[in-house]
């Protein structure tokens, strides 16, 4: 009997999913691992990035339960839809990847207001508290907004327009404010009725969580993770669109069964790479020119997204 087109498609898809490259490797990642290990189940790696550095087309990176505070920059992708690189949470295990770090040593200022001073070296080359949200079609209405964020037990506070607002009695939404000088980044925050040193307090330190630094890292699968806390920039269609997880205009990605949250501007991005024309034309015509330049550079719209 001749199969209908949908049944035939599902049969081919199932056959593709069941075909396994016998030469493919599986790298295991665990909080108790070590990046000098081979990445076997009994001797896992410590960071997902180390697995990414080792993985070749057809390989699988299996991440075991725990919290991973890192940005994954896949250095390569797969070769085809059937020979991709797969990043996956171990079945039945909760895996969190965060762009934040835990902060202690808060000092009480007054009432529910606390502050912490961090050396700028803590942030390396990217400091979200000195990184303004800006770009085409963003209208800040007379105040500044930054890509930094402060979280108390998983919930984020609201950035204040100025320090005076944080020092006032707390309203319905707790506030934070950051100030960066030549040596330190100081953050003031409202923690109602709690000592932040006895709670889980985190701040954004990474721009993104899973994002290649160049286009063309194709045929990657990312599945089963909880990913959160990223200092992502504004993402108009006329500039590089960086998401907490994003493809950087690579093709053939599958992003499925993940929980993505607490990204300042963009959670999942399938969009534009960066170039010298970023944020130079906030108009429909500027957007059209963006697409035309991309087409001339060989971009084609081939991205699979499954949530």
- Tokens for 130? 């000195």
Long-range pairs of 10-19 with CB within 8 A, sequence gap ≥ 24: 16/81, 16/82, 19/82
pLDDT at 264: 98
SS3 content of the chain, % helix, strand, coil (to 5): 15, 30, 55
Distance CA(47)–CA(73), nearest Å, equals 12
Rounded (5°) CA angle 179-133-285: 160
Pick the CATH number of 100-204 from 2.40.50.100, 2.60.40.1180, 1.10.150.120, 3.40.50.2000: 2.60.40.1180
The whole-number pLDDT of residue 300 equals 66
For 180-196, write each residue's pLDDT tens digit: 999 999 999 999 999 99
In the chain, where the domains are located: 5-98+209-296, 100-204
Q: Please report the pLDDT score of residue 283 as a whole number.
A: 76
Q: Count of CB atoms within 10 A of residue 38's CB?
A: 13
pLDDT in the model for residue 273 = 83
Residues of the chain with pLDDT under 70: 1-22, 299-307
Residue 67 CB partners (closer than 8 Å, separation 6+) = 31, 96, 97, 98
Per-residue pLDDT at 301: 61
The reported pLDDT for the residue numbered 7 is 37
Measured CA to CA, the distance from residue 131 to residue 112 in angstroms comes to: 26
Rounded CA gap, 107 and 121, in Å?
20
Residue 80 has φ and ψ, to the nearest 5°, of -165, 180
pLDDT at residue 307 in the model: 57
């Amino acid at each position: 009997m001749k199969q209908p087109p949908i049944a035939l498609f599902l049969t081919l898809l199932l056959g593709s999913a069941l075909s396994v490259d016998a030469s493919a490797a599986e790298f295991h990642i665990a909080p108790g691992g070590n990046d000098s290990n081979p990445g076997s189940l009994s001797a896992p790696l410590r960071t997902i990035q180390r697995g990414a550095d080792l993985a070749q087309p057809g390989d699988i990176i299996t991440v075991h339960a725990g919290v991973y505070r890192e940005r994954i920059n896949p250095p390569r992708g797969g070769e085809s839809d059937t020979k991709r690189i797969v990043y996956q949470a171990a079945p039945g295990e909760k895996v969190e990847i965060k762009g934040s770090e835990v902060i202690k040593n808060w000092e009480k200022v007054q009432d529910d207001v606390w502050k912490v001073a961090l050396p700028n070296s803590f942030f390396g080359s990217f400091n979200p508290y000195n990184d303004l949200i800006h770009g085409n079609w963003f209208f800040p209405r007379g105040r500044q907004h930054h890509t930094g964020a402060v979280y108390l037990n998983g919930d984020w506070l609201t950035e204040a327009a100025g320090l005076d607002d944080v020092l006032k009695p707390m309203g319905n939404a707790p506030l934070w404010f950051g100030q960066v000088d030549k040596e330190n980044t100081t953050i003031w925050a409202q923690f109602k009725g709690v000592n932040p040193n006895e709670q889980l307090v985190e701040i954004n330190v990474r721009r993104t969580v899973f994002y290649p630094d160049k286009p063309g890292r194709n045929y990657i699968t990312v599945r089963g993770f909880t990913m959160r806390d990223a200092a992502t920039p504004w993402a108009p269609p006329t500039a590089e669109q960086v998401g907490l997880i994003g493809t950087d205009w690579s093709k053939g990605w599958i992003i499925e069964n993940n929980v993505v949250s607490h990204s300042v501007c963009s959670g999942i991005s399938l969009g534009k790479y960066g170039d010298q024309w970023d944020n130079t034309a906030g108009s429909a015509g500027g957007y059209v020119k963006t697409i035309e330049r991309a087409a001339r550079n060989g971009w084609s719209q081939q991205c699979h997204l499954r949530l």
